[in-house]
Amino acid sequence: MFDQNELRFEMVQLLDENGNGDEQELASFSDEFLVTLYRWMRKVRVIDERLLKMQRQGRIGTYAPFSGQEAAQIGSVLALRKDDWIFPSYREIAACLAHGLPLAQIFQYVRGRVMGRKMPEDLNIFPTQIIIGAQTLHATGCAWATKLKGETQVSVCYFGDGATSEGDFHEALNFASVYQVPVIFFCQNNHYAISVPVHKQTASRTIAQKALAYGMKGVLVDGNDALAVYKTMKQAVEAARNGEGPMLIEALTYRLGPHTTADDPTKYRNAEEVEQWKRKKDPLHRLRVLLEKRGLWTEEQEEAWVAQVNEEVTEAYEEATANETGSIVDVFDYVYGKPSKLLQEQQQEVARRKQRKEVR
């Protein structure tokens, strides 16, 4: 008889909550890399906090904050090549920025502008996916195309624990494993899919162990340990690039803020739980402690960096709001590479209706 207790996944961790770890292991990371990693994490924390305030001020639309998940996103995306593909959900702004997306375009997106969804031609990022779990299929398809074309890019799909309850997730993993395509499924298990805790999403001990059912490798990593995330993703990407097939990574982390600005998390989780993750498990804290031990970061550097990022945010917002062009008619231009006849007819009809409305 099958015993689920035999499915044991040890969590990969290099830095504990106090910034301590095996010195020999930590020595493999250069000072330059550690500073770059922390600067990115601190940068996106500032950006996230500013975006949250801007939403409350009515300057942007509904927003999904990601504070608490910086190590998972930045640690994973820095392990990629520039030409690797990423498939984000609505909470992966940090990963998109670190992969090259201009901050001004983020503002266009959160302000509901059409151009906010049009990715730069030289950037391998698919448009943000709002439908839960749908990007798993897109990533699998892209990876399959990459394999058929003999290319070397790897596709990385980001999603939350709630997405593992969707049929798309299971179909994508099954297909990816059967065809051995170069895709990494990166689950940020932040404990809550809106108000639903992870233990109501699945009865399995971990999300990582679901990989076994599909014949692929699964890894559980401390999602608040940026170094462990980087190392895990680096190994997964290299394996996929070398034709060893897909992998499922579960990054155990925590969403410090609300699901979106339309959510009230106090209705489904207690303040003590949130405070514990803020005070003891903040991903920025443990990495900064390591930097300070090595003499690589000071309070003066922190203040200067935060001030610089705040200036960048202000400039990007002003740039985005000064160039808000486009209309509902333009939406049809970014659905398919080559628009179908039906799509063209719909666009023409919308244009006629818009013109009649403006004439009146």
Residue ranges of the domains in the chain?
8-325, 327-360
When pLDDT is averaged across residues 227-231 and rounded to a whole number, the result is: 98
One of 3.40.50.300, 3.60.21.10, 3.40.50.970, 3.40.630.30 is the CATH number of 8-325, namely: 3.40.50.970
CA–CA separation, 38 and 88 (whole Å): 22
pLDDT at 255: 97
In percent, the amount of the chain with pLDDT more than 70 equals 97
CB neighbour burial string for 309-319, b if at least 16 within 10 angstroms, e if fewer: beebbeebbee
Is 116's pLDDT higher than 90?
no
Best CA proximity match to 220, nearest among 10, 77, 71, 68: 10
Beta strands, E only, 132-230: 155-160, 183-189, 192-193, 196-197, 217-222
> Does pTM surpass 0.75?
yes
Number of H helices, E strands in the chain: 12, 7
Contacts of 213 (CB under 8 A, 6+ apart): none
When pLDDT is averaged across residues 256-275 and rounded to a whole number, the result is: 95
Token pair for 295: 């003499």
307-341 pLDDT, tens per residue? 999 999 999 999 999 977 777 888 888 778 888 99
Cα angle value 135/138/141 (rounded, 5°): 150
21-75 pLDDT, tens per residue? 999 999 999 999 999 999 999 999 999 999 999 999 999 999 999 999 999 999 9
Mean pLDDT over the full length of the chain: 93
Token pair for 300: 């003066």
Is 272's pLDDT higher than 90?
yes
Are the C-beta atoms of residues 110 and 50 closer than 8 Å to each other? no
Beta strands, E only, 71-153: 85-87
CA–CA separation, 295 and 277 (whole Å): 26
In percent, the amount of the chain with pLDDT more than 90 equals 86
Residues taking part in catalysis: 255, 259, 268
Q: Which of 16-20, 31-35, 207-211, 355-359 has the lowest mean pLDDT?
A: 355-359
